[in-house]
């Protein structure tokens, strides 16, 4: 996700835009820019890196302009470069656009506009919007924006400024947030409240497919058909720091709640429900290697390694290719048997984890093609891979990985479907059915999030415990590991995840009346066996906290605490189980007074061996 700001009023616009962008830096910070009208001319500044770089560009320049737009970027299409930084312009350079979101149909639109004579300067999807508006601009900016957006499919929150209409900014949203701030004779546009809280607490929130036109005289809101829309002005009572977290107490909780959107954005524009086809940019570079591969190695660390373990199950079921999973810190030292018939997939949220990057380089040295799943465009791992599948989870600020993990699972599901079809293992009908399951997943995640308060209450019973055991089977066993990792890394309580069937080979000795045991028990082919494991724990006075399917009517009286998740395919059950694992760890850590967003001894990206 990115951050956009806009201002029109009586103050000098540049300091307001820069301050607003700095308060939105948590939404993305790989490049930034702003545009203002100064003495009738459009003046644009863009820089790579954090807002500080933009400030350096502006240093010593005194602009008297009173209207402008700004942007801080989290790259999704096109690497973090100055050419790809926003604002983007039309051919004439007299119209600028800043954008947060993903335009699914940007490639065909770009091709059509090129054929109509438009010339493009960037690799971004956003620039297409600027040229579309230019195409329809005949003096009426608002009308041209409206016509352009009617041709666009995807998510957007935009700010548009045109030299030919020097007193107005047009904003519009569909799928990405946009708020309007109401001052005294001055008006603000922003992706999020923190950008404008210093200037006004009176805001109105645009809803889907609504447009706002800001001028010194005021704001008017319409829908995409041009019909006026009455909006209620709301008073924001948050503190600025709370506002930066979207009203959540911690970034981690905000990011747990962003997971439905992260999954939606990761899958957006990458499949056709009608044909069952999957579209993954850049796969042509490795398509032959994918056809030829006789083995796949997935390499990752930490939570991404847990995603890799889930990926093994999905990939093997869909493609029938043997998959091995390795820790990044181990892989390069074990003399892996690589070569052109072994494909390596590196999974990394940051794209900078040294162990995973070293594994990538060793794989290439040994003659294997490398694919990666990354959340940061232009990161080292993404740049050094032969092909990349980007997750679109947006910047993950909390050290404990949450939304990146579920977005990785969504990307693995898509890639498995792609590979299964490429290798003739999945029919179009099967693919369409599997895509229907995937499309429903975000709303099922939203349903699971509603257990938030129950898990908060449960944490009250267990936050003083010293040890936890997490058990799961099959594709859900990696979620037992992930639940244990989440707990230990933010609450400092020791926890271990195990395959439930492994308990009798040792861990069962740990069970006593003081040992909480989290059991992942969805109605799948392991259900009866898991019930047996629950019985083994209860027979030793262990405390069982079970996560089962919502239609399960027999487990309730066999466990001490029961939570349920909606039914979905066995391949997507791990995606739903991730949220209760995260919330249980979060609430226990909060009750213990731990620094949830920045746990002791940890870093968000481990760029050392
Ligand atoms: C997960 O909660 C941890 N913060 C950590 O294990 C992390 O997953 C690991 O360091 C890998 O990071 P990456 O995904 O950026 O490569």
Q: Half-sphere exposure of residue 578, counting CA atoms within 13 Å on the CB side?
A: 35
To the nearest whole number, what is the mean pLDDT of the chain? 95
C-alpha 351 – ligand 1 centre gap (Å) = 10
C-alpha 331 – ligand 1 centre gap (Å) = 16
pLDDT of the residue at 293: 96
Which phi and psi angles does 397 have, rounded to 5°? -85, -45
Nearest CA to ligand 1 atom 10: 302
605 lines ligand 1 (CB under 6 A): yes
How far is residue 96's CA from residue 171's CA, in Å, rounded to a whole number?
12
**CA-CA-CA-CA dihedral for 387, 51, 1, 221, to nearest 10:** -140
Rounded to two decimals, the pTM is 0.83
Average pLDDT over residues 348-375: 95
Average pLDDT over residues 523-542: 96
How far is residue 66's CA from residue 37's CA, in Å, rounded to a whole number?
7
356 lines ligand 1 (CB under 6 A): yes
Average pLDDT over residues 24-33: 86
C-alpha 25 – ligand 1 centre gap (Å) = 21
pLDDT of the residue at 80: 87
Pick from 53, 16, 13, 15: nearest CA to 33 = 53
How many CB atoms are closer than 10 A to CB 457? 11
Strand partners, 223: 210
pLDDT of the residue at 84: 93
pLDDT of the residue at 330: 96
Which phi and psi angles does 392 have, rounded to 5°? -115, 55
| Structural tokens at position 466 | 């010293």
379 lines ligand 1 (CB under 6 A): no
How many CB atoms are closer than 10 A to CB 541? 11
3-state secondary structure 541-558: CCEEEEEEECCCCCCHHH
Contacts (Cβ under 8 Å, ≥6 apart) of 539: none
How far is residue 256's CA from residue 583's CA, in Å, rounded to a whole number?
8
pLDDT digits (tens, 9 = 90+) for 42-93: 999 999 988 999 999 999 998 999 999 999 998 888 888 999 999 999 999 9
User: Which ligand 1 atom sits nearest the alpha carbon of residue 399?
Assistant: 4
Average pLDDT over residues 529-555: 96
CA angle, 282 then 2 then 230, to 5°: 125
C-alpha 70 – ligand 1 centre gap (Å) = 31
pLDDT of the residue at 536: 95
pLDDT band (50, 70, 90) for residue 380: confident
Nearest CA to ligand 1 atom 5: 302
Q: Please, are residues 6 and 71 in contact by the beta-carbon 8 Å criterion?
A: no
Residue 2 annotated among the catalytic residues of the structure: yes
353 lines ligand 1 (CB under 6 A): yes
546 lines ligand 1 (CB under 6 A): no
Average pLDDT over residues 226-239: 89
Which phi and psi angles does 8 have, rounded to 5°? -145, 130
Residue 604 annotated among the catalytic residues of the structure: yes
How far is residue 492's CA from residue 486's CA, in Å, rounded to a whole number?
10
Strand partners, 271: 278
pLDDT at 497 over 90: yes
C-alpha 604 – ligand 1 centre gap (Å) = 7
Contacts (Cβ under 8 Å, ≥6 apart) of 39: 64, 65
303 lines ligand 1 (CB under 6 A): yes
381 lines ligand 1 (CB under 6 A): no
Best probe residue, ligand 1, of 299, 606, 607, 609 (max atoms within 8 Å of C-beta): 606
Q: What is the DSSP string of 297-345?
A: EEEE-HHHHHHHHHHHHHHHHHH---EEEEEHHHHTTS----STTEEEE
Q: Do you find a cis peptide bond into 87, omega within 30 degrees of 0?
A: yes
pLDDT of the residue at 603: 74
191 lines ligand 1 (CB under 6 A): no
């Amino acid at each position: 996700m990115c951050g956009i700001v806009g201002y029109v009023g009586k103050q000098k616009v540049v300091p307001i835009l820069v301050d607003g962008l700095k308060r939105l830096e948590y939404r993305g910070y790989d490049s930034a820019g702003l545009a203002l009208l100064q003495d009738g001319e459009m003046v644009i500044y863009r820089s790579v890196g954090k807002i500080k770089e933009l400030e350096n560009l502006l240093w010593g320049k005194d602009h008297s302009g009173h209207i402008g737009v700004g942007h801080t970027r989290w790259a999704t299409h096109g690497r973090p470069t100055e050419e790809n930084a926003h604002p983007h312009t039309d051919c004439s350079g007299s119209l600028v656009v800043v954008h947060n979101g993903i335009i699914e149909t940007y490639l065909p639109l770009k091709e059509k506009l090129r054929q109509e004579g438009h010339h493009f300067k960037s690799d971004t999807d956003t620039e297409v919007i600027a040229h579309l508006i230019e195409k329809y601009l005949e003096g009426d900016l608002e009308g041209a924006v409206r016509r352009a957006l009617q041709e666009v499919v995807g998510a957007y929150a935009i700010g548009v400024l045109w030299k030919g209409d020097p007193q107005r900014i047009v904003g519009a949203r569909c799928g990405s947030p946009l708020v309007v701030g109401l001052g005294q004779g001055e008006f603000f546009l922003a992706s999020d409240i923190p950008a404008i809280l210093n200037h006004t607490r009176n805001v109105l929130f645009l809803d889907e497919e609504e447009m706002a036109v800001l001028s010194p005289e005021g704001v008017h809101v319409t829908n995409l058909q041009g019909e006026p829309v009455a909006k209620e002005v709301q008073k924001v009572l948050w503190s600025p720091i709370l506002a930066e977290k979207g009203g959540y107490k911690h970034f981690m909780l905000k990011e747990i709640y962003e997971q439905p959107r992260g999954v939606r954005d990761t899958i957006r524009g990458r499949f056709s429900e009608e044909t069952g086809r999957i579209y993954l940019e850049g796969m042509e570079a490795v398509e032959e290697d994918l056809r030829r591969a006789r083995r796949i190695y997935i390499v990752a660390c930490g939570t991404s390694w847990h995603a890799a373990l889930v990926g093994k199950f999905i990939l093997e079921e869909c493609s029938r290719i043997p998959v091995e999973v390795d820790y990044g810190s181990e892989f390069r030292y074990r003399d892996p048997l690589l070569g052109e018939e072994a494909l390596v997939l590196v999974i990394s949220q940051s794209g900078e984890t040294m162990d995973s990057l070293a594994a990538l380089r060793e794989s290439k040295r040994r003659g294997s093609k490398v694919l990666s799943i990354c959340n940061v465009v232009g990161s080292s791992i993404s740049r050094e891979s032969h092909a990349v599948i980007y997750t679109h989870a947006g910047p993950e600020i909390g050290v404990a990985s949450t939304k990146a993990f579920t977005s990785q699972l969504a990307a693995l599901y898509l890639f498995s479907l792609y590979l299964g079809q490429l290798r003739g293992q999945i029919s179009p009908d099967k693919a369409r059915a599997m895509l229907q399951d995937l499309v429903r997943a975000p709303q099922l995640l939203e349903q699971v999030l509603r257990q938030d308060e129950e898990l908060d209450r449960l944490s009250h019973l267990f936050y003083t415990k010293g040890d936890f055991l997490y058990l799961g089977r099959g594709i859900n066993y990696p979620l037992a590991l992930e639940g244990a990792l989440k707990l230990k890394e933010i609450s400092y309580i020791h926890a271990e995840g195990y395959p439930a069937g492994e308990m009798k080979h040792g861990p069962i000795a740990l069970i006593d009346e003081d040992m909480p045991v989290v059991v992942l028990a969805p109605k799948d082919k392991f259900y009866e066996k898991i019930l047996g494991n629950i019985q083994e724990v209860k027979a030793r006075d262990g405390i069982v906290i079970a996560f089962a399917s919502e239609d399960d009517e027999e487990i309730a009286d066999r466990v001490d605490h029961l939570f349920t998740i909606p039914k979905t395919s066995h391949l997507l059950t791990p995606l739903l189980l991730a949220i209760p694992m995260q919330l249980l760890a979060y609430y226990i850590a909060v009750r213990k007074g731990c620094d949830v967003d920045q746990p002791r001894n940890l870093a968000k990206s481990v760029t050392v061996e």
